[in-house]
Amino acid sequence: MAQQDSVLDRILATKLIAIVRLNSADQLLQVAEAIAAGGIDIIEFTLTTPGALEVLQKASAYFGDRVVLGAGTVLDSETGLLAIQAGARFIVSPILNLDLVRLCRRYSVPALPGAYTPTEIMQAWEAGADLVKVFPAETLGPAYIKAVKAPLPQVRLVPTGGISTENARTYLDAGAVALGVGSSLVDAHLVHAGAWEALQLRAQNLWSAVHRGAISDLQRA
């Protein structure tokens, strides 16, 4: 369980999971490098990206402990096992699949199943979820997170969907323990153009917004 706790501690400290969903796996490594350089060292490769598992294995060896890599859009335990074998150190799903949660518990890998209603959220938590992904968060908003946390203060919620630099802090103030951030961070046009410095700046701006940090030299540039 030590490894599982270590990964959880890093997610809770960073408060951000960068979600990388691309049309091709060709640039996954460069994207991860830029995001990590911007200060976000928790990165999820979604399995809707063709070839993501192969790159996940290479990226895990490349980054080592410098970056915590996970697999997202995992829909079943069979795929979850393949992701863990490829080096995923946490597993994220948009749905609640109890077999997948049990698999993660078996291998001491943090599970972040998706849930929407209070009933689903509690089912995920009671099944052994380490964090519960509230998805899609943009249809609910920070007020929903605050409302759910009132009767369920023990559940660690990770809103995902529609999170941006502008609203990230609001979700955390409402009670979220971390945030899943995708398209507002990993802009498809920047990736296509190979604009890695711009992507790094986005990551740094998001990190600063979440942690209320001082503006860095990179931001001032």
- pLDDT tens by residue, 12-42: 999 999 999 999 999 999 999 999 999 999 9
| CATH classification of the domain holding 158 | 3.20.20.70
Please enumerate in sequence order all residues whose Cβ is within 8 A of that of 201, keeping only pairs 6 or more positions apart, or say none: 38, 218, 219
pTM, two decimal places: 0.93
Specify the higher pLDDT residue, 151 or 217. Answer: 151
Which of 9, 68, 18, 20 lies closest to 207, judged by CA? 18
Residue 217: pLDDT band with limits 50, 70, 90: very low
Give the position of tokens 């990165």: 43
Please report whether residue 143 resides in a domain: yes
Q: Write out the catalytic residue numbers.
A: 44, 133
DSSP classification of residue 81? H
- Is the pLDDT score of 219 beyond 70? no
- Is the pLDDT score of 88 beyond 70? yes
Cα gap 6→120, rounded to integer Å:
26
Please report whether residue 88 resides in a domain: yes
- Is the pLDDT score of 215 beyond 60? no
Please report whether residue 221 resides in a domain: no
Please report whether residue 219 resides in a domain: no
How far apart, in Å, do the first and last CA atoms of the chain sit? 43
- pLDDT tens by residue, 159-183: 999 999 999 999 999 999 999 999 9
Cα gap 188→88, rounded to integer Å:
23
Residue 1: pLDDT band with limits 50, 70, 90: low
Please report whether residue 140 resides in a domain: yes
**Interior/surface letters 183-207, b for 16+ CB within 10 angstroms, e for the rest:** ebbbeeebbeeeebeebbbbbbbbb
- Is the pLDDT score of 78 beyond 70? yes
Q: Domain count for the chain, please give it.
A: 1
- Is the pLDDT score of 5 beyond 90? no
Please enumerate in sequence order all residues whose Cβ is within 8 A of that of 200, keeping only pairs 6 or more positions apart, or say none: 34, 35, 37, 38, 218
Please report whether residue 220 resides in a domain: no
Q: Token digits for 191? A: 């990736």
Provide the residue range defining the domain that includes 6.
2-214
What is the layout of strands, in order, in the sheet containing 179-181?
111-112, 91-92, 68-72, 42-46, 16-20, 179-181
Please report whether residue 192 resides in a domain: yes
- Is the pLDDT score of 95 beyond 80? yes
Which of 59, 19, 66 lies closest to 43, judged by CA? 19
Helices 98-106, 118-127: axis angle to 10 degrees equals 30
- Is the pLDDT score of 216 beyond 70? no
User: Helix, strand or coil for residue 65?
Assistant: helix
Cα gap 28→58, rounded to integer Å:
10
Please report whether residue 188 resides in a domain: yes
